[in-house]
Structure 1
Amino acid sequence: MKNIVLLAGLTALMMSSCEVKEKVSSSNGEPFGMNIACADFGSVFPGEYNKDYTYPTDSDLVYWEKKGLKLVRMPFKWERLQYKLDGGLNKHDLEKMKEFVVAAQKRGIKVLLDLHNYCRRFENGDHRIIGTYGITNQNYAGFWKKIASEFKDYDNIYGYGLMNEPHDLPDSISWFKMAQLAIDSIRMVDTKNTIVVGGNSWSSAKRWLTESDTLKFLKDPAENLMFEAHCYFDKDGSGTYKYSYEEEEGTPEKGIQLVAPFVEWLSQNNLKGIVGEFGIPDDDARWEVTLDNFLSYLSKNGVNATYWASGPWWGEGAQMVIPTYKGGKEYPQVKVLEKYIMTEK
């Protein structure tokens, strides 16, 4: 009996040690999270607040805090924060952004500020590529310098997301040069916070090696860069999931296969990375298996991710996870998402 008691005590101690080890490992990882999108809404710029677009508030954090998520990616628009090139920041929208950051701070949630502009700015009635029609790299970098000056002292800024999904740039326009100038400008006022660099070609994880490999040569005097890829599992990678699981060529391992080029690139170059957007539809449980495998793979490789998307103005869509769904039931994706709070390393 004495030996049994001793063995039981030793087993309990070992189990306790494992639990502690697991908690320590989790606390040292990177947080998974959610996109809370609404400030990027609308086709009119700057648009009318609470009609064409809005900003997330504390109420949009309650559900996700309960689920344990510790990171929010918050899209916003250049044209709404700065009406005129090189001009001052729009105080109303800046204040709304700050209110949300403070609300997240009180709940222990970090915020990734995501400039959701696709390497473009709405000028003279159209979306113009930066570097054309008088919109210069210097205009863009100067904007980021102003934003960093305003947010550098908040302790829950996860990073400055330089640009959402650069794409279809002419040969004369270099996303690399844009990004480098923005990095240099931010570091004039903020040497602390992480700078997050999205990949070219819609930030595609699948096409990372062919479209974004040169980003590894970016220089940051603070040596605090993170790289952002996006990964959807449907056939065209758009995240619209227009067709059935079979027609979209779904498999349990598809997410891993699509994101592996990005994850392996990070490892080979000793760089940090995040998957800023991913998502699945709610109408076929087989996608949930794909999602689970995808997140497990990321977690084991120390790469975190933010799901697309939640927010106060979303209706029922392909992969949206607004807090209530079909009579108050949770979206089926949530039971997978809440398994992944922090990466394993």
Structure 2
Amino acid sequence: MSFMRNLTLTILLLMSLTEAFAACPPRMRGINLVPLPSGWYNGAVEMQFPTATQIAYYKSVGMNSIRLPIHWEDLQPILGNDLDARFIGHTVDFLDQAHAQGMKVLIDLHNYARYRNQLVGSPAVPASAFRDVWKRLAAALVNHPAVFAYGLMNEPHHTGGLWHTVAQSGVDGIREIDAVRPIYVDGDGWSNSQNWPKENPLPFVNDPSKKIVYEAHIYFDDDFSGRYKTPLGDADVAARATQRLQPFLSWLTTHGQRGAIGETGVPQDDPRWLAALTKFLDMTDAACVDWFMWAGGGWRESYELSLEPINGKDRPQIKLLRSRL
């Protein structure tokens, strides 16, 4: 009798663990590795993609993935025309290096819902153009094993409601080519996590593959910008982290959606900022939410959110992340 009872308890435990795993798939814990200099590619200045050494560094921290921000103008210099072969070549070279080190890559179109400063969904940049670029990009990368997901558009803002309509065109373009990979969808309002329910009251894209991940961004400075221009003062940054992240997490639960934080970071100039990062890590772990730190790549050493090592030594933020990964 005791044996049967123990067996039953074991089976129930295994079922519980299986359900928990199904509800919380392996999470992406990654870095934004940014090709620099940023800006529009005009053939005169070669963008420098992150190196194999930089990929290896973030893998050593314990990260398993990379968010690669690219600009639409670099990718497709003329709207509706072929993708730039040289730029695609650089992208594939980077993906090859990531794959060789076992790192997965999220391709992020980093354009704020604009193309050459014209709003996506406007007559100048119609929804059909957004569908076109994503169809072409998915076709170029669909067979690459390093690509695990597509990031539809970084930080749409001030779109007058257009983003909630035009986003579907990008999803449709991808799904013409790739029915397998997840699509990460930023929200309007700069993807601000605290303001997410106000700016994005309801889920706004449909995916026949059921693999949408809504992506918010969160910074902890006074103006939410990530520039950290104002000294910290006596603010309770752990409480601020909760205040800013919980609205997005609650929205995900209410609407039964998967979520990710595409950007977050704190500066190293005041160790008290690490309390916000610690609270963020606690909450995202508990909520099964992916995250990608901002930022790695060829930044100047003084850039406040660069996570690149200095003289081979980890920055304080990286020391914290190593302890959690």
Query: When the two structures are superposed, what TM-score results if normalisation uses the length of structure 2?
Result: 0.89
Q: Which residue of 1 aligns with 2:290?
A: 304
Q: Which residue of 2 aligns with 1:36?
A: 33
1:59 aligns with 2:43: no
Deviation at 1:250, TM superposition (A): 4.1
Q: Which residue of 1 aligns with 2:128?
A: 138
Q: Distance in 2 between matches of 1:36 and 1:258?
A: 24
Q: Secondary structure at the match of 2:314?
A: coil
Instruction: Structure 1: state its 5+ residue gaps.
Output: 1-20
Q: Which residue of 2 aligns with 1:111?
A: 105
Q: Which residue of 1 aligns with 2:320?
A: 336
- Runs of 4+ in structure 1 displaced over 4 angstroms? none
Q: Distance in 1 between matches of 2:99 and 2:41?
A: 29
Deviation at 1:45, TM superposition (A): 4.2
CA distances 1:169-198 after superposition (whole Å, capped 9, x unpaired): 2x3x51011111111121111101111100
Deviation at 1:255, TM superposition (A): 1.2
Q: Distance in 1 between matches of 2:208 and 2:121?
A: 25
Within 5 Å, give how 1:59-98 maps onto structure 2.
59-98=53-92
Q: Distance in 1 between matches of 2:240 and 2:42?
A: 39
Contact 2:121–2:163 (CA under 8 A) maintained in structure 1: no
Give the % identical residues.
Answer: 31
Distance 1:194 1:314, change over 3 A: farther
Distance 1:157 1:213, change over 3 A: farther
Contact 1:114–1:161 (CA under 8 A) maintained in structure 2: yes
CA RMSD of aligned residues (A): 2.2
Q: Which residue of 2 aligns with 1:245?
A: 232
1:128 aligns with 2:137: no
Q: Distance in 2 between matches of 1:256 and 1:102?
A: 38
Q: Which residue of 1 aligns with 2:182?
A: 194
Contact 2:76–2:84 (CA under 8 A) maintained in structure 1: yes
Q: Secondary structure at the match of 2:323?
A: coil
Q: Secondary structure at the match of 1:66?
A: helix
CA distances 1:275-296 after superposition (whole Å, capped 9, x unpaired): 0000101011111121111111
Q: Distance in 2 between matches of 1:259 and 1:85?
A: 36
Contact 2:242–2:280 (CA under 8 A) maintained in structure 1: yes
User: What letter is aligned with 2:211?
Assistant: N
Distance 1:39 1:116, change over 3 A: farther
